[in-house]
């Protein structure tokens, strides 16, 4: 029944419902709401739902017999019940006023209406007549409109003359009737009126036609003349019929038969013709000055110069014939086209490239000449690039393709966003690209700058030393950092630094020449307004590489910020990007916008997933399991108290910003209570038995410990990590490893090294932000998320510390969730909101602050 309930809500949201009056006894009538199946889209939805319904859900009584309804009738009846319920429940009609207004109550409050008072005898019939037009297509015989262009003359070559539309040849309109019960062709109305065989059906058909004539009055004269002479519609009057009358008729479910050329009525539109310019020396194209352009007018697949367009529209209005088809000339559109041709917009190289890839620009069609098509093909296909001999690694096929793609973009002067899934070897692909640039002499003048989180400095040093030992590397970090800035000073091929240093030393870094600027964990610049993002984007370079397993965690604007780093200005300014892509995709789920987004970003974004076995088939399986835990009595009492007090305070707050802050504050408190009461009460070490989650955690650790496995344990809170460490210390008489943000870089590196190489170290506690990115911890075969961030992208990043290349075992992921609390309900919501997974859009927690009072109560209250 849930699909029918959702369908009813969807139809109400769209207004795709119609009322139907039901005759009862005497002057008593009832009313029900039905899906507006005169709309083909609604019909299709109802058919999909009815196909999923088991037979026999709805039956009718006929005397002593109980008969099942047909599948279609069953779906309609059940959907109607839901529609009636929602309309009656949510109606804003005033109950007192409705009590004195039978018709208002009949439509919106349910029940029946007895029209037996003075002057009410014709009310029910009037309502019936008024509603009849919404059910024309349900009648035994439905009218059919037939429009013919038989007067159109073809020239001697079989094509209509380009100027033929300037005469007064009219179109001819006739009416026919068809029966939905039989596969018979429509019968001309003239036959219905003259043939005695139609005598019994004639009155009902005429009654239907009279209703149709309300929307097109000339039909009255046509019927009065016995429908023997077709209605003639002049070319300049045809637009009113096509655009005003026809949509209403079709909305009522009435068929209209038109010539194919009229069904595909053409309109002149602006077209951008993109011309390719030859690359210097016949080699790679360059990001600058690769395209030229010209504006034309497109009519169907024909392109007209401005002069030819003016000749076509001279002295013409309405619908004209053109090259075997029909063109609608709207005076307002013609003037708009003339104005655009008189003052065509100037386009930058980025806008031209984006338009060429998208296939349209501001609604204007795009045409590409042969040279432009070859240039785009070169951009889409990386080709084979030989791996440098100095690289001491064998690249997998997908890594070889990624390396070739990075190198090609760098040579072309374009930036790249490599967004491969965690553990697929992004770092190796980038290192191979840097080595290739060095071998080509591209690093002789400008060098490579690599900006990473502090926790990854050591990892990058080791990876370069391992895979590209001939690359010279320096680290610009720490209190004794030095930068070679003077002429004649030897600069390393690669300079490693951190986001914090890039921000504080922005002026010094900007003063140097950089051939390529690489940023790892690029989500660190996802917020375009931060000082860190501005500092990184201010460093000039010839080409840019952004690395991220999650280029979008919450909003597409984060992707804009990263792509704007890689290719400055390519996606336009942020407000333009939000208008063209973010709002249509995230708010309206606009599939066309999604496809356009993919087309314009595809040459500069590379994303491969570990779940795709065509990419990599030698990774073991990852098995995720939600572990549901119960609250202890102490947790329940504390949880309930915080919820009641929190909802009371929130209900009294009218300021939206402060209200959202209060909601997030309550979420933080409830997370801590679900973890352990001691965390919320700041009591230090406490008995694990006071938390159902802590007890389940220790049970899992016992199982992993007994099987001699290794486990990563993630928590958002350092204080929770301290509690976990205390219980593990007490249970196993051993100090567990604990990596958190308060540790110096050297200490972090030592902990990672110890866990990876010491078999006796079985448990590694990590705070989510300090240990959730960049680390290789493939000796672990289990991952426990003690508390959840409610952001699938962040959670997956943490899990992928273990589930990555080099992992030889299946990885078991345990997600601890407290049953019957907000944790379980938010988890259900997040799992249901992954429609943009392919765009790597996750879910944060800010949206919870915008929920209404009742929604918040339903979310947080214990169940």
For 579-595, the pLDDT digits (tens) are 989 999 888 888 888 88
**C-alpha distances out from residue 47 to 15, 43, 60, 67, 520, Å:** 19, 6, 21, 21, 50
**Whether residue 651 sits in one domain with residue 563:** no
Q: Give the 3-state secondary structure percentages of the chain, helix then strand then coil, rounded to 5.
A: 45, 20, 35
CA distance 271 to 292: 14
Which run of H or of E encompasses 757?
A: helix 745-757
Question: What local confidence, expressed as pLDDT, does residue 379 receive?
Answer: 73
Terminal CA-CA length for the chain: 23
CA distance 167 to 863: 75
Question: What local confidence, expressed as pLDDT, does residue 838 receive?
Answer: 41
**C-alpha distances out from residue 191 to 146, 174, 223, 227, 743, Å:** 15, 12, 12, 9, 92
**At which of 263, 286, 316 does a domain end?**
263
**Whether residue 174 sits in one domain with residue 43:** no
The total of other beta-carbon atoms located within 10 Å of residue 358's CB is: 17
Cβ contacts of 457 within 8 Å, gap of 6 or more: 475, 477, 496, 498, 745
Look up the domain containing 231 and give its range: 139-263
pLDDT category, 783, cuts 50, 70, 90?
A: very high
Please check the confidence at residue 518 and state whether its pLDDT lies above 50.
Answer: yes
CB 496 within 8 A of CB 474: yes
Cβ contacts of 618 within 8 Å, gap of 6 or more: none
Which run of H or of E encompasses 22?
A: strand 17-23
Cβ contacts of 190 within 8 Å, gap of 6 or more: 174, 226, 227, 228
**Whether residue 169 sits in one domain with residue 27:** no
Residue 91 lies in a domain: yes
DSSP-assigned states of every residue in 788-813: --S-HHHHHHHHTTTSSTT--S-EEE
CA distance 321 to 300: 12
**C-alpha distances out from residue 480 to 450, 476, 488, 521, Å:** 19, 9, 21, 25
Backbone angles phi, psi at 17, to 5 degrees: -135, 150
**Whether residue 418 sits in one domain with residue 520:** yes
Q: What is the pLDDT of residues 256-269, one digit of tens each?
A: 899 888 888 888 88
Cβ contacts of 3 within 8 Å, gap of 6 or more: 49, 52
Name the more confident of 87 and 808. Answer: 87
Question: What local confidence, expressed as pLDDT, does residue 817 receive?
Answer: 92
User: What is residue 246's three-state secondary structure?
Assistant: helix
Question: What local confidence, expressed as pLDDT, does residue 429 receive?
Answer: 98
Question: What local confidence, expressed as pLDDT, does residue 278 receive?
Answer: 54
Tokens for 157, please give them: 């070559």
**Whether residue 737 sits in one domain with residue 714:** yes
Cβ contacts of 593 within 8 Å, gap of 6 or more: 580, 581, 584, 585
CA distance 18 to 262: 30
User: What is residue 447's three-state secondary structure?
Assistant: strand
User: What is residue 66's three-state secondary structure?
Assistant: strand
Residue 613 lies in a domain: no
Question: What local confidence, expressed as pLDDT, does residue 169 receive?
Answer: 63
Q: What is the mean pLDDT of the chain?
A: 84
When divided into structural domains, the chain yields a total of: 5
Q: What is the pLDDT of residues 17-74, one digit of tens each?
A: 888 888 777 778 888 888 887 677 888 888 888 777 777 778 887 777 887 777 788 8
Residue among 659, 669, 658, 667 at smallest CA distance from 852: 659
Residue 615 lies in a domain: no
pLDDT category, 750, cuts 50, 70, 90?
A: very high
pLDDT category, 96, cuts 50, 70, 90?
A: low
Please check the confidence at residue 469 and state whether its pLDDT lies above 80.
Answer: yes
**Whether residue 677 sits in one domain with residue 553:** no
Tokens for 619, please give them: 């990774």
Question: What local confidence, expressed as pLDDT, does residue 290 receive?
Answer: 62
CA distance 844 to 728: 31
CA distance 268 to 70: 48
**At which of 136, 165, 196 does a domain end?**
136
Q: What is the mean pLDDT of residues 554-571?
A: 91
Name the more confident of 455 and 107. Answer: 107
Residue 645 lies in a domain: yes
Residue 667 lies in a domain: yes
User: What is residue 750's three-state secondary structure?
Assistant: helix
CB 566 within 8 A of CB 323: no
Question: What local confidence, expressed as pLDDT, does residue 154 receive?
Answer: 45
Residue 612 lies in a domain: no
Strands 782-785 and 711-715: parallel
Q: What is the mean pLDDT of residues 735-751?
A: 92
**Whether residue 100 sits in one domain with residue 150:** no
Domain with 464 in it: what CATH number? 3.40.50.10810
Q: What is the mean pLDDT of residues 639-646?
A: 94
Please check the confidence at residue 543 and state whether its pLDDT lies above 90.
Answer: yes
Residue among 492, 495, 493, 519 at smallest CA distance from 388: 493
Backbone angles phi, psi at 297, to 5 degrees: -110, 125
Strand partners, 497: 451, 476
pLDDT category, 117, cuts 50, 70, 90?
A: confident
Backbone angles phi, psi at 135, to 5 degrees: -125, 25
**What sign has the CA pseudo-torsion 218, 220, 222, 224?**
negative
Question: What local confidence, expressed as pLDDT, does residue 155 receive?
Answer: 44
DSSP class of 266: B
Please check the confidence at residue 354 and state whether its pLDDT lies above 90.
Answer: no
User: What is residue 472's three-state secondary structure?
Assistant: coil
Residue among 768, 434, 399 at smallest CA distance from 606: 399
Spell 429-467 as b/e; 16+ CB within 10 A means b.
bbbbbbbbbbeeebbeebbbbbbbbbbbbbbbbebbeeb
Q: Which of 56-65, 406-415, 662-671 ranks highest by mean pLDDT?
A: 662-671
**What sign has the CA pseudo-torsion 829, 832, 836, 841?**
positive
CB 137 within 8 A of CB 196: no
Min mean pLDDT across 58-72, 206-220, 626-640 is at 58-72
**Whether residue 700 sits in one domain with residue 806:** yes
**Whether residue 343 sits in one domain with residue 233:** no
Tokens for 430, please give them: 């980038």
pLDDT category, 162, cuts 50, 70, 90?
A: very low
Question: Judging by beta carbons within 10 Å of its beta carbon (0-12, 13-18, 19+), is residue 719 exposed, middle or buried?
Answer: middle
Question: What local confidence, expressed as pLDDT, does residue 550 receive?
Answer: 77
Domain with 768 in it: what CATH number? 3.40.50.300
Cβ contacts of 729 within 8 Å, gap of 6 or more: 735, 736
Name the more confident of 228 and 776. Answer: 228
**At which of 579, 606, 633 does a domain end?**
606
**Whether residue 403 sits in one domain with residue 362:** no
Residue among 820, 288, 814, 306 at smallest CA distance from 570: 288
Share of the chain above pLDDT 70, in %: 88
Question: What local confidence, expressed as pLDDT, does residue 421 receive?
Answer: 83
pLDDT category, 524, cuts 50, 70, 90?
A: very high
Question: What local confidence, expressed as pLDDT, does residue 463 receive?
Answer: 92
CA distance 299 to 328: 10
Cα-to-chain-centroid distance, residue 54: 33
Residue 687 lies in a domain: yes
Residue 752 lies in a domain: yes
**Whether residue 358 sits in one domain with residue 338:** yes
Helices and strands (H and E) in the chain: how many: 35, 30
DSSP E strand boundaries for 412-466 = 416-418, 447-452
Q: What is the mean pLDDT of residues 401-421?
A: 91
Name the more confident of 154 and 614. Answer: 614
**Whether residue 824 sits in one domain with residue 727:** yes
CA distance 264 to 327: 9
Strands 231-233 and 255-257: unpaired
Q: How many CA atoms lie within 13 A of 750 on its CB side?
A: 6
Question: What local confidence, expressed as pLDDT, does residue 841 receive?
Answer: 34
Question: What local confidence, expressed as pLDDT, does residue 399 receive?
Answer: 94
Please check the confidence at residue 279 and state whether its pLDDT lies above 70.
Answer: no
Q: What is the mean pLDDT of residues 107-124?
A: 78
Q: What is the mean pLDDT of residues 502-515?
A: 95
Q: What is the mean pLDDT of residues 210-238?
A: 88
Backbone angles phi, psi at 35, to 5 degrees: -60, 140
């Amino acid at each position: 029944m849930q699909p029918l309930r959702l369908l009813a809500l969807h139809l109400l949201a769209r207004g795709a419902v119609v009322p139907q009056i039901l005759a009862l006894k005497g002057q008593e009538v009832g009313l029900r709401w039905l899906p507006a199946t005169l709309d083909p889209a609604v019909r299709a939805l109802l058919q999909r739902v009815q196909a999923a319904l088991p037979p026999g859900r709805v039956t009718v009584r006929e005397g002593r017999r109980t008969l099942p309804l047909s599948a279609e009738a069953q779906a309609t009846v059940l959907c109607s019940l839901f529609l009636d319920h929602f309309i009656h429940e949510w109606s804003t009609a005033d109950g007192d006023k409705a009590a004195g207004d039978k018709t208002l109550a009949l439509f919106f409050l349910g029940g029946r209406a007895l029209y037996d008072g003075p002057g009410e005898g014709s009310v029910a019939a009037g309502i019936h007549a008024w509603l009849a037009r919404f059910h024309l297509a349900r009648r035994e015989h439905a009218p059919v409109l037939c429009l013919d262009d038989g007067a159109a003359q073809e020239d001697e070559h079989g094509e209509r003359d380009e100027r033929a539309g300037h005469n007064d040849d009219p179109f001819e309109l006739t009416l026919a009737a068809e029966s939905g019960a039989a596969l018979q062709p429509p019968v001309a109305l003239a036959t219905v009126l003259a043939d005695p065989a139609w005598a019994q059906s004639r009155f009902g058909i005429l009654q239907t036609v009279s209703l149709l004539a309300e929307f097109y009055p000339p039909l009255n004269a046509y019927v009065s003349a016995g429908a023997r002479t077709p209605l003639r519609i002049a070319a300049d009057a045809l637009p009113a019929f096509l655009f005003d009358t026809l949509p209403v008729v079709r909305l009522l479910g009435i068929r209209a038969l038109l010539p194919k050329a009229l069904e595909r009525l053409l309109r002149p539109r602006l077209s951008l013709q993109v011309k390719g310019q030859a690359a210097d020396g016949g080699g790679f194209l360059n990001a600058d000055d690769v395209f030229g352009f010209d504006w034309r007018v497109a009519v169907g697949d024909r392109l007209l110069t401005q002069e030819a367009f003016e000749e076509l529209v001279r002295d013409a209005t309405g619908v004209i014939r053109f090259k075997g088809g029909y063109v609608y000339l709207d005076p307002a559109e013609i003037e708009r086209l003339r104005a655009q041709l008189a003052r065509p917009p100037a386009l930058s190289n980025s806008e031209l490239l984006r338009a060429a890839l998208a296939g349209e620009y501001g609604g204007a069609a795009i045409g590409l000449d042969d040279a432009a098509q070859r240039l785009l093909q070169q951009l889409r296909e990386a080709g084979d690039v030989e791996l440098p001999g100095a690289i001491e690694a064998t690249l997998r096929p997908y890594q070889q393709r990624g390396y070739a793609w990075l190198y090609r973009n760098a040579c072309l002067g374009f930036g790249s966003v490599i967004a491969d899934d965690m553990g697929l070897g992004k770092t190796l692909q980038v290192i191979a690209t840097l080595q290739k640039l060095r071998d080509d002499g591209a690093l002789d003048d400008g060098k490579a700058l690599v900006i990473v989180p502090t926790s990854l400095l050591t990892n990058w040093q080791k990876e370069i030393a391992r895979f590209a030992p001939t690359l010279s590397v320096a680290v610009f970090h720490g209190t004794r950092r030095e930068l070679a800035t003077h002429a004649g000073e030897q600069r390393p091929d690669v300079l490693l630094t951190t986001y914090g240093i890039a921000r504080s030393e922005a002026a010094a870094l900007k003063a140097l020449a950089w051939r390529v600027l690489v940023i790892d964990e690029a989500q660190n610049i996802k917020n375009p307004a931060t000082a860190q993002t501005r500092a990184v984007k201010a460093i000039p370079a010839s080409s840019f590489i952004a690395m991220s397993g999650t280029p979008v965690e919450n909003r597409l604007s984060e992707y804009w910020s990263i792509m704007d780093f890689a290719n400055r200005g390519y996606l336009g300014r942020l407000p333009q990007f939000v208008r063209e892509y973010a709002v249509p995709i995230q708010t309206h789920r606009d599939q066309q916008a999604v496809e356009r987004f993919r087309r314009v970003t595809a040459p500069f974004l590379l994303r491969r997933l570990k779940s795709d076995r065509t990419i990599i088939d030698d990774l073991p399986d990852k098995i995720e399991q939600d572990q549901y835990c119960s609250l202890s009595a102490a947790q329940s009492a504390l949880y309930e108290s915080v919820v009641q007090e929190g909802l009371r305070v929130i209900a009294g707050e009218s300021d939206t910003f402060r209200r959202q802050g209060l909601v997030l504050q309550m979420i933080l408190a409830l997370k801590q209570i679900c973890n352990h009461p001691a965390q919320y009460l700041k009591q230090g070490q406490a008995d694990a038995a006071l938390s159902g989650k802590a007890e389940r955690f220790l049970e899992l650790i016992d199982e992993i410990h007994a099987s001699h496995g290794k486990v990563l344990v993630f928590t958002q809170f350092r204080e929770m990590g301290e509690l976990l460490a205390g219980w593990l210390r007490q249970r196993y008489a051993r100090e567990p490893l604990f990596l958190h943000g308060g540790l110096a870089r050297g200490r972090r590196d030592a902990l990672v090294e110890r866990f990876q190489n010491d078999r006796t170290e079985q448990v590694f506690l990590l705070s989510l932000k300090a240990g959730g990115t960049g680390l290789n911890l493939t000796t672990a075969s289990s991952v426990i998320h003690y508390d959840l961030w409610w952001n699938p992208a962040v959670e997956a990043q943490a899990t992928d510390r273990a589930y990555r290349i080099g992992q030889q075992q299946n990885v078991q992921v345990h997600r601890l969730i407290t049953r019957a609390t907000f944790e379980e309900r938010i988890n259900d919501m997040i799992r249901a909101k992954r429609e943009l997974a392919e765009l790597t859009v996750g879910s944060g927690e800010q949206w919870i602050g915008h929920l209404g009072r009742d929604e918040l109560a339903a979310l947080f209250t214990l169940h």
